[in-house]
Amino acid sequence: PCRAPKEKPRAEAAPKPRQAPTDEAQMAAAAALARLELKPKGKAPSASQEYIRNQVRKELMAEAAAGEKGLPEEEKDQGEGAAAPSVSGVYFICPLSGAVVRKDQKEKQLREAIQAYFSVDPVAASIMEIHTFNKDREKVRVGVETMAKYLDNIYLHPEEEKYRKIKLQNKVFQERISCLEGTHRFFQAVGFEAKSLPVPGQGKEFPGPEEEQYYVLKEEMLSRLEELKDSKEQLLSSEPLRARLDRQLRVFQPSPEAARFELPNDFYNLTAEEIKREQRLRTEAVEKASMLRTRAMREKEEQREMRKYNYTLLRVRFPDGYILQGTFYARESVSELYSFVRGALRDDWLPFELLGPGGLKLTDENLAFNECGLVPSALLSLCWDAAVMADIEAAGEEQPRSPLRPELLAGIQTLP
């Protein structure tokens, strides 16, 4: 059975400092955690990308995020009353400014934050533009590699004047570079300036335009070739800047309403009208459909259901009744939920398992939520490792009233 640490009455005197878990508890925890080990995450971001993000966090002017931090007051006030939605929408965090914005505002916020960063580091800002706002990844790859070649030629042959001039009407430049957003700002940021130069051999015998447009590297950049090389490496190794899904972490008091969800339209791929129509048709034909559908038809419908949702709202009920809530992508893996829960614990070494609806253990952490039937919402239960809990209890340690972090409990809410 799932057992949580016993709750003891608070003493009037100052509480005694907690002792570390006993050797037996630590050994049991290590064994349990080995069984529940989270799968390795994807590769870490490149050094240059990390550098850009660190610089942004350190140097981005406060006014870039002024007025944007947090949710609007009118949206914070939503959720009161029986008919209030479980969340007011899907929100994202801008990695540059830290602003929290609704999903339909995330690209606008990214553009504003990158624009603000031009006053801090124009090279990095232009690279962000190139990788973030050009959606065709193959065109970006080809364009970036061509731009890097231009810079390489200058770095390797600084004495060759021809490499320091780029003809803007050149077919390769037009087809691979000029068509991409941010590329012109990049060339200007790394030390090129636009100039009109006479066309060689142009005259009365060969009529045509007398001048053509070029990017010409400024003379002073010849003494700063290492900077040019660094800019090239940064250009090649950077990735698109993505707004991060805001988990909207909430902790709720124990409630019999934990399994009731009221989701806003943000959670669906369908329009509100399509959702209502589909729900009505499903209600009318549920018995008939269950009788007539073949297995192949059911599987096809399940696949269609999986694609219907972009996000899922998940709640985890602890043995003491407290409820932890967060927003996830429907295609994220179960391992993300384990990490989310572990990050909310006062003692993150405590091993646990999560049980889905019906008590089914979520043991395969590689599965996506929409593959487990955990979309567009679900209530799960947390179960402590019984052996570890028994050992801690036997050791006589004084346990806090909840395993959740104190700062989360300080903001505890009541389910609408």
Domains and their CATH numbers in the chain: 91-201+209-245 (1.20.58.2190), 305-414 (3.10.20.90)
Contact 62, 247 (CB under 8 A): no
Report in angstroms the alpha-carbon separations of 342 from 78, 91, 174, 261, 326.
28, 22, 51, 23, 13
If DSSP codes are grouped into helix, strand and coil, which group holds residue 412?
coil
pLDDT of 43 over the 50 cut: no
CA distance 179 to 191: 20
Three-class DSSP category at 404: strand
- Among 58-62, 168-172, 201-205, the minimum mean pLDDT is found in 58-62
> What's the pTM value of the predicted model, to 2 decimals?
0.69
pLDDT above 80 (res 3): no
Of 68-82, 198-212, 246-260, 296-310, the least confident: 68-82
* Higher per-residue pLDDT: 73 or 268: 268
Check pLDDT > 70 for residue 278.
no
80 DSSP 8-state letter: -
In this prediction, residue 264 carries a pLDDT of 87
φ, ψ for residue 98 (rounded to 5)?
80, 0
Token pair, residue 236, equals 């090649």
Q: What is the pLDDT of residue 257?
A: 92
Is the pLDDT at 246 greater than 70? The verdict is yes
Q: Which of 141, 119, 127, 235 is nearest to 181 (CA)?
A: 127
Condensed to tens digits (0 to 9), the pLDDT of residues 357-407 reads 988 899 999 999 988 889 999 999 999 988 888 887 888 777 667 899 999
pLDDT digits (tens, 9 = 90+) for 102-142: 999 999 999 999 999 999 999 999 999 999 999 999 999 99
Mean pLDDT of 73-100: 72
Q: What is the mean pLDDT of the chain?
A: 79
Report percent pLDDT > 70 for the chain. 67
